[in-house]
Amino acid sequence: MASPSEPENLSPNVYIPEEWSDAAHSMAYDSLTSPPPISLICGAKNSGKTTFSRHLLNILLHSRYSKVAYLDTDVGQPEFTPPGFLSLTIVDKITPDLAIPCLKTPERCHFYGDVSSKRDLSAYLNYIFSLYDHFRKECYMSKEGDNPPRTKLPLIVNTSGWVKGFGYNVLVDMLKYIAPTHVVKICISAVNKNLPAGAFWLDGENDGTVNLIEINSARQDSFNRSLLVQKDARLVRDLRIMAYFRQCFPSDRDITTIKEFAHALSTHRPFEVPIARIKTQHLHCQVPSSETFYSLNASIVGLAIDSEESKKLPWCIGLGIVRGIDTFKGVFFVITPVPQSSLEKVNLFLRGYIQIPTCLLQVQGFLSPYMSANVLFTS
């Protein structure tokens, strides 16, 4: 039974140590924190950052906040979106099961187009800074004339586990730009994989405006060695992509196997999007204009809105599968769960490195429309 000050944990396989709960409560109930806390969670790969972030999110919602902002900077395994996104999501409901991620519609998001930030560190940071600026403007700063005054929201910033080499430099840049009120550093027993001690991003000059909380990973063996959560990253990403496109169909439709889902997706009626209305941008690579249609066909693209306001950092509203291209009719055939009213605002396709899961293309007893049985090779 959960205590009155803590939401009930319906995840029997997720262990939340007392040290973690104390850290989360110290941020949620810190009487000196006004405005609300801006908390950044960092640590080595598989140390439990996402689980702690989910726990902190629940504690904040259970305490005195009706909504919490969540800035996700892990493009490989994001919390509320398919892979390849950087997003800012406003959450207003407690997550009962800490072991199961769930898809949510972000307040704002950018399509980075890859599962590793190493591809383009400059673009990666610019997207994060853009999302944080949006949070400050819309969720944290009072506007003159607001009546009633705007409710300021707390923010959780979840980071990736890349904390060495260039990854360390990226994390330092994030910390300096965001300037969080609280930094939670999760440590593991392999000391050489941990971040440096103390407020490492402040060059030794902590003026007391940031609360640094250092905690250990949740599970240790009998020798106090960290038991890291091992995940099949590729499988997790494929499942998230399939869960996203599962939203194309009614929730009560009986789709229980990959074969049924592959068939449903291939026979789903696509949207027709006029080619003349769409600009195309290839992320992290150059493609000759003569090859553009070849590169888009049978691919996943980010559906973006490019405007003067976006300042070359277009907002993305979702993903689509380019089911086919009719150059004579002048249309793209696109499968997406994005509603038509939103899709009509899209004027940019972003082509990255997020692929259709192989399991949807190689289903026994079912020939995907994107696979060929007879291929003639040129000499």
For domain 18-226, give the CATH number. 3.40.50.300
Residue 356 φ/ψ, nearest 5 degrees = -65, 130
Give the residue, 145 or 258, on which the prediction is more confident.
258
Q: What's at 280, amino acid-wise?
A: T
Question: Hey, what are 181's tokens?
Answer: 């009120």
Q: What's at 178, amino acid-wise?
A: I
The answer to whether the CB of 84 falls within 8 A of the CB of 75 is yes
For domain 256-360, give the CATH number. 2.40.30.330
Q: How far is CA 51 from the centre of its chain?
A: 14
pLDDT of residue 342: 95
In the three-class reduction of DSSP (H, G, I as helix; E, B as strand; rest coil), residue 154 is classed as: coil
Average pLDDT value for residue range 102-130: 95
pLDDT of residue 126: 96
Q: How far is CA 60 from the centre of its chain?
A: 20
pLDDT at 123 over 50: yes
pLDDT of residue 58: 93
pLDDT at 128 over 50: yes
pLDDT of residue 170: 96
Whether omega before 148 lies within 30 degrees of 0, making that bond cis, reads yes
**Confidence band (pLDDT; 50, 70, 90) for 136?**
very high
pLDDT at 13 over 50: yes
In the three-class reduction of DSSP (H, G, I as helix; E, B as strand; rest coil), residue 51 is classed as: helix
CA torsion through residues 296, 299, 302, 304, sign: positive
Average pLDDT value for residue range 284-288: 91
Quote the CA–CA distance of 168 and 162 in Å, as a whole number. Answer: 7
pLDDT of residue 1: 40
The answer to whether the CB of 108 falls within 8 A of the CB of 134 is yes
In the three-class reduction of DSSP (H, G, I as helix; E, B as strand; rest coil), residue 258 is classed as: helix
| Distance in Å from the first CA to the final CA of the chain | 70
CA torsion through residues 197, 202, 208, 213, sign: negative
**Confidence band (pLDDT; 50, 70, 90) for 95?**
confident
Quote the CA–CA distance of 30 and 136 in Å, as a whole number. Answer: 21
pLDDT at 153 over 90: yes
Tell me: the pLDDT tens digits for 262-275? 989 988 999 999 99
Q: How far is CA 154 from the centre of its chain?
A: 18
**Confidence band (pLDDT; 50, 70, 90) for 365?**
low
- Give pTM, 2 decimals: 0.89
Where exactly are the structural domains of the chain? Answer: 18-226, 256-360
The alpha-carbon radius of gyration of the chain (Å, integer) is 22
pLDDT at 362 over 50: yes
Tell me: the pLDDT tens digits for 201-231? 987 666 667 899 999 987 655 445 445 555 6
pLDDT of residue 214: 94
Average pLDDT over the chain reads 86
Beta strand residue intervals within 68-125, DSSP E: 68-72, 85-91, 108-111
| All residues at 6 or more sequence positions from 373 whose CB lies less than 8 Å from its CB, including other chains | 367
